[in-house]
Every structure is written in structure tokens, then in C-alpha cells.
Copies of this chain bind each other. A is one copy, B any other.
Amino acid sequence: MLKKVVICGVGLIGGSFALALRETGAVGEVVGIGRSRANLDLARQRGIIDRIGACDAATLADADLVLLATPVGQMPELMRAMAPHLGVHTVLTDAGSTKSDVAAAVRACLPAQAARFVPAHPIAGTENSGAGAAQADLYRGAKVILTPLPENAPDAVARVRAAWAACGAVIHDMSPARHDQIFAAVSHLPHVLSFALVHELAQREDCDEFLRFAASGFRDFTRIAASDPEMWRDICLANRDALLAELECYQSQLGDLHQALVAGDAARLEAIFADARSLRRAWTEGKLS
């Protein structure tokens, strides 16, 4: 039981965390902090938070758990603002979609509390945002990745793990670097590739005629190119090194395909496509370990 939880950024992610904890009776009081007063008022009206707090000792000193659910780019400043007001007992975590940069920010901006900050990444979301989009069941059955730091205290890790378990999440542990490598490959790179395809078409004077004949394959391939540009700019920069490594692997793969096409190498093309189909089908059918 967490007596007091503070949510910084009471949007879809932070608000759903609060609702889930409330629903299972895992929390006493929930206090919200945020930049938008209107959003915090809505969160209070919806019963997501009990009251609106501030980045001060009254809000933070006796908190059992503080969740940073803001964009990752705002976290260093937020950490610095919180640092003087945190109690020794307080455990912190975040919900950012990149982890090496959060780990670095913790060490730079909250060095005294690094033992009690356990970075995490819930793999969940919807098209919507803000407190109005929060839902108690968002994390039920969803994956949450914990990336504990070597300096984390075991009781801090246990507290964050228990909170996500109470939300119904399935928890996986890995290092921040491994997290960032995996998400660069299966999420960040596909977004960049999809943006690149549509941007390339957008440069053409006759792009309307191209898009007139685009069908369901194009639709699905480019769905993620309608994602938020600012958010994806930040993710790409926050995870730049891992993303560059994945992009370079992919460019090399395209180079191979280009060569096979130039050579008219039917067997090589078919082998590449067949390997891809086989793995894609195994994934869809849940046949991977």
C-alpha cells in the first residue's frame, strides 16, 4: 500500500497509472503536478487525483512514489526542481520511452537520490492524450520494462515493481542500453522509415497522383507517419546512438537489396522475402519464444 503517490504530468500515461492504482486499492492519496491547470482540474474532476500539488516539500517530502510522466525532454529540469524537496523515503520512477538518457539525467540532476530512482517504460498508449484519455485498464496485460540502475536500492526497485504489478502489467527487466537498442529496432526505426517514405513523396509536385493510387499496403506502412513530429523528434534525439546503429544496419540491408535488384538475382530476392515472411508470420502467430 502506497500512502501517497505524486504524478508529474497527469495525461494518458500518468493518469491511467493513478486510476489503476486506485482501482485495486493500492494507493491512499494521489497528488497531481503539471503545467496545464485545465488538465489538472479535469484530472481532479475525473477522480484521477485527489488534489493539485506543486514542486515543493509539502507535495514531495512524504511521497512514497513519484512518477514522472512528462515528455522525456522535460525530465532533467523537473528532476533539478524536485531534488531539494524529496524525502529520504521517496522512490521515483518515470514512464519515458527512452531509458539511457533518463538514467544519465538521474545521475546528473538527482545524484543524491540515484539509489531511489528506478527508470521504467510502460508499453501502452492510445491515439489520445491528456487526463481525459486516462483509463484504469490501460496497463492490464501490457508490458512494462524496468531498467533498474546498478546503484538502485532493492526496496526501491521492489516498490516500483509492485506498483506496476498492481496495475496489471507484465514486467520485464533489462538494462537501459538494451532497452534502447530493442526499441530503436522495433519502434523508432520503423517510425523514421515511414516518415521518410511519405516525406520523399511530399517533395514531388505530382504527389497527389501517386497517393491517389496508394492502397492498403501503403496505408498500413505509413500509419505511423501520422505520429506527432515533436514527440518523435525528441525520441530520435534522446535515443540517437542506438537509432543510428539500427539505421546503418538497415541502410546496409537496403544496399544488399539494391545490388540483388541490379543483378536481377531472383533467388536472392526470394530468399530475403521468404525469410521475412517466415519471421513475420511466426511473430503474428505467437510462435516465437
1/0 per residue A72-109: CB within 8 Å of B?
Answer: 00000000000000000000000000000000000000
- Within 8 Å CB of A274, what residues of B? 229
Identify A224's interface contact among B195, B220, B240, B266, CB under 8 A. B220
Would you give the shortest CB distance from A33 to chain B, in whole angstroms?
A: 26
CB distance from A124 to the nearest CB of B (A): 9
C-alpha gap A234/B232 in the complex (Å): 36
Residues of A155-203 at the interface with B, using a CB-CB cut-off of 8 Å, are: 172, 182-183, 185-187, 189-202
Nearest CB of B to A286, in Å: 10
* Cα A123 to Cα B270 with chains together (Å): 23
How many residues of A are in contact with the other chain, CB < 8 A? 83
Residue of B nearest to A273 (CB): B229
Q: Which of A172, A222, A262 has the most CB of B within 10 A?
A: A222
Chain A contact residues: over half helix, strand or loop, or mixed? helix
Shortest Cβ distance from A207 into B: residue? B279
Residues A186 and B213 in contact in the complex (CB < 8 Å), given A220-B223, A221-B224, A270-B229: yes
Given contacts A229-B277, A270-B230, A277-B225, contact A123 B200 (CB under 8 A): no
A197-B250, A257-B192, A275-B199 given; A220·B220 CB < 8 A: yes
Q: Once the chains bind, are A233 and B266 in contact (CB under 8 Å)?
A: yes
What residues on B are CB-neighbors of A191 within 8 Å?
217
- Complex: A264 Cα to B226 Cα, angstroms: 22
Contact call A264/B237, Cβ cutoff below 8 A: yes
Q: For the complex, give the distance between the alpha carbons of A102 and B8 in Å.
A: 61
- Taken together as a complex, chains A and B put the C-alpha atoms of A201 and B182 apart, in Å, by 11
The residues in A between 241 and 258 inclusive whose CB is less than 8 angstroms from any CB of B are: 243-244, 247-251, 253-255, 257-258
Task: Say yes or no: A233-B270 contact (C-beta < 8 A), given A227-B277, A254-B251.
Answer: yes
Residue of B nearest to A288 (CB): B208
B250 touches A251 (CB 8 A): no
Contact check, B210 vs A190: say whether CB atoms are below 8 A apart: no
Does A38 touch B at the CB level, under 8 Å?
Answer: no
